[in-house]
Structure 1
Amino acid sequence: MKVLFDNCTSPMYASTLHGFVSHYGHSAVHIRDLAELPKGRSSTDLEWIDHLRSSGLVWSFISGDGRVLKNAAERAALRSAGLHGFILAPGYQKTPHNQVVSNLLWHWPEMQRLTEILAAPSMHEVPMKRTTKLRSLPL
Structure 2
Amino acid sequence: MKVFFDNCTPPVFASTLHGFIQHEGHAAFHIRDIPGLPKGRHSADLEWIDLLRQTPERWMFITGDRRLVKNPAERAALRSAGLHGFILASGYQKTSLNQIASLLIWKWPDLLRVTDLLSAPTMHEIAIQRGAKLRPLPF
Query: TM (normalized to structure 2)?
Result: 0.98
Give the corresponding residue for 1:92: 92
For 1:47 and 1:35, locate their aligned partners in 2 and report how far apart those are by CA, in whole Å: 12
For 1:40 and 1:21, locate their aligned partners in 2 and report how far apart those are by CA, in whole Å: 24
For 1:14 and 1:36, locate their aligned partners in 2 and report how far apart those are by CA, in whole Å: 18
For 1:124 and 1:58, locate their aligned partners in 2 and report how far apart those are by CA, in whole Å: 17
Q: What SS does structure 1 have at the residue aligned with 2:85?
A: strand
For 1:79 and 1:138, locate their aligned partners in 2 and report how far apart those are by CA, in whole Å: 12
In structure 2, what residue type is equivalent to 1:44? A
Residue 51 of structure 2 corresponds to residue 51 of structure 1: yes
For 1:99 and 1:78, locate their aligned partners in 2 and report how far apart those are by CA, in whole Å: 28
Cα deviation for residue 5 of structure 1 reads 0.2
In structure 2, what residue type is equivalent to 1:130? R
Cα deviation for residue 116 of structure 1 reads 0.5
For 1:45 and 1:75, locate their aligned partners in 2 and report how far apart those are by CA, in whole Å: 10
Whether contact under 8 Å (2:38, 2:47) holds in the other structure is: no
Give the corresponding residue for 2:23: 23
List alignment gaps of at least 5 residues for structure 1: none
- Identity fraction in percent: 64
Cα deviation for residue 41 of structure 1 reads 0.6
In structure 2, what residue type is equivalent to 1:119? S
List alignment gaps of at least 5 residues for structure 2: none
In structure 2, what residue type is equivalent to 1:36? G
Q: Deviations over 1:22-81 (max 9, x none)?
A: 011000000011012121111000000000001121100000111111000000000000
For 1:111 and 1:136, locate their aligned partners in 2 and report how far apart those are by CA, in whole Å: 12
Runs of 4+ in 1 over 6 A off after TM superposition: none
Give the corresponding residue for 2:125: 125
For 1:94 and 1:17, locate their aligned partners in 2 and report how far apart those are by CA, in whole Å: 20
In structure 2, what residue type is equivalent to 1:63? T
For 2:34 and 2:127, locate their aligned partners in 1 and report how far apart those are by CA, in whole Å: 27
For 1:138 and 1:28, locate their aligned partners in 2 and report how far apart those are by CA, in whole Å: 25
Equivalent residues in 2 for 1:35-114 (5 A)?
Answer: 35-114=35-114
* Number of corresponding residues: 139
Q: Deviations over 1:101-130 (max 9, x none)?
A: 011111110001100110000000000111
For 2:63 and 2:129, locate their aligned partners in 1 and report how far apart those are by CA, in whole Å: 17
Q: What SS does structure 2 have at the residue aligned with 1:37?
A: coil
